[in-house]
Amino acid sequence: AKGLLLMPGCIDTHVHLREPGFTHKEDMFTGSLAAAAGGITTVFDMPNTKPSTTTITALANKRKLAKKMIVNHGFYFGATKSAEGISEIKEAKNVPGTKVFMNITTGKMIIEDEKFLHKIFEASRQVSVHAEQEQVKHAIQLASLARKKLYCSQISTQKEVDYITFAKSAGTEVCCEVTPHHLFCSKSGKKDAFLSMKPELRTKKDKSSLWKAINDGIVDTIGTDHAPHTTVEKKSNNPPYGVPGLETSLPLMLTAVRDGKLSYQQVIKLMCNNPAKIFGIKSRSIQKSQRLFEHGSVL
Ligand code: DOR
Ligand code: ZN
């Protein structure tokens, strides 16, 4: 291996696999092939499938479907605005956490009701949020009130970096993730469905603030927000949000190392060590008998 780089497999904390419900886009097997091809050996799947992962039954079904996956996996539990949903959150074990969509995106899982947001944070062990701009501040307040660990998925602007920097300096247990597309692309002014995702591409200034936040140690992880759609869907009159990312995130980050934007050690921290620490990954053996996370048991 002289002259080569040896590193652990990457953990992608933010992946929208399309099974069940949307296997014309991708299924758990093909999604896991894309992950392996990209050097990602563990994925955390998001709950906006059909059915959504908002019940223990749907979670158990995903685990059955996942037998065909060739990489390690954890399934996020999705929050809903119902009393049953809250009690299901309390029962969900061996998951990376509860996923709360505070903004619109594919799947209509947005939660705006303040009362329910409080209940969801109270019921959860750890929460990951899709929050944009002021919503990041709101999520930090909700997590502080409920005394729960907060993971801000896909932060994309200078303002969001500022909220997180402030919360971290105040000792709040908050972590954040950035996507490769927000690190490598910025908005061009032209409408292009193939470059449309949530959060949308931001300004060049926002993009540089994310690189600065990486080098200041504010950003904890790189997550792809892998969200594939078909070409036909993207070319339609109402194109869905999302771009794929599993195969390209590590090559892009290694290209950034070559270009002097960060070090190999930082890439390993962002894509391997930090996700394992933040989510309490116990063992990455794929053996059926073993659970992925330190807490809870296999359902
Ligand atoms: O662009 C996005 N697409 N952002 C998300 O958060 C969801 C995703 C999807 O599932 O298509
Ligand atoms: Zn997402």
Q: How far is CA 232 from CA 41, 106, 242, 266, in A?
A: 30, 16, 14, 38
| Cβ-contact 247, 38 below 8 angstroms | yes
Measure 52 CA to ligand 2 centroid, in angstroms. 14
Nearest CA to ligand 1 atom 3: 242
DSSP 9: P
Of the listed ligands, the closest to the CA of 105 is 1
Mutate to test the pocket of ligand 1, among 103, 197, 202, 224 (most ligand atoms within 8 A of CB): 197
Distance, in Å, from the CA atom of 269 to the CA atom of 177, rounded to the nearest integer, reads 12
Q: Which helix (H) or strand (E) holds 117?
A: helix 114-123
- Say if residues 185 and 134 touch (Cβ distance below 8 Å): no
Atom of ligand 1 nearest to the CA of 241: 1
- From first to last of its 299 residues, the chain has per-residue pLDDT tens of 899 999 999 999 999 999 999 999 999 999 999 999 999 999 999 999 999 999 999 999 999 999 999 999 999 999 999 999 999 999 999 999 999 999 998 888 999 999 999 999 999 999 999 999 999 999 999 999 999 999 999 999 999 999 999 999 999 999 999 999 999 999 998 999 999 999 999 999 999 999 999 999 999 999 999 999 999 999 999 999 999 999 999 999 999 999 999 999 999 999 999 999 999 997 765 454 456 776 654 43
Alpha helix locations (H) across 197-247?
A: 204-215, 231-234
> Which atom belonging to ligand 1 lies closest to the Cα atom of 242?
1
User: Which residue among 135, 178, 198 is best mutated to probe the pocket of ligand 1, counting the most ligand atoms within 8 A of its Cβ?
Assistant: 198
pTM of the model: 0.95
Query: Any catalytic annotation for residue 225?
Result: yes
Between CA 237 and CA 10 the distance in angstroms is: 36
Cα of 4 vs centre of ligand 2, distance in Å, is 33
